[in-house]
Amino acid sequence: MTRTLSLVLLLATVAQSAVAADCYADYKAKQDKPLKLHYGVMQLAGDCSKPAAGKEIARRLNDAGWTLLSVQSIFGPDGLDKRKSDAGSYFLRF
């Protein structure tokens, strides 16, 4: 019984990791003094929800001196191509 439960938990963890690996968000961020703005796309390592993405993106941007303004959307790999040119050098940068 415990062997079966362990296997189920392992498979659930692997499945969740695979889903998170295919999760992306686009966002808007800023820096002050002087004011700089950017639109970017980031691959998410954690939960694939807008609230969780906001926390993850804010932390990662903050480490680089940026402040998150907003999470625009959460999407899968199929949405990368249409956002690549708009994100420019901030496409999968962080």
Domain range list for the chain: 2-90
Q: What is the pTM of this model?
A: 0.75
Please tell me the distance from the alpha carbon of residue 73 to that of residue 64, in angstroms, as a whole number.
Answer: 21
33 φ/ψ angles, rounded to the nearest 5 degrees:
55, 75
Determine the pLDDT at residue 3. 52
- Asked whether the beta carbons of 71 and 53 are under 8 A apart, the reply is yes
CB 25 within 8 A of CB 44: yes
Give the C-alpha separation, 15 to 39, whole Å: 30
pLDDT value of residue 9: 39
pLDDT tens readout for residues 9-45: 344 443 444 444 699 999 999 999 999 999 999 999 9
Tens of pLDDT, residue by residue over 68-85, are: 999 999 999 999 999 999
Q: Dump strand ranges (E) for 1-94.
A: 24-31, 36-43, 67-75
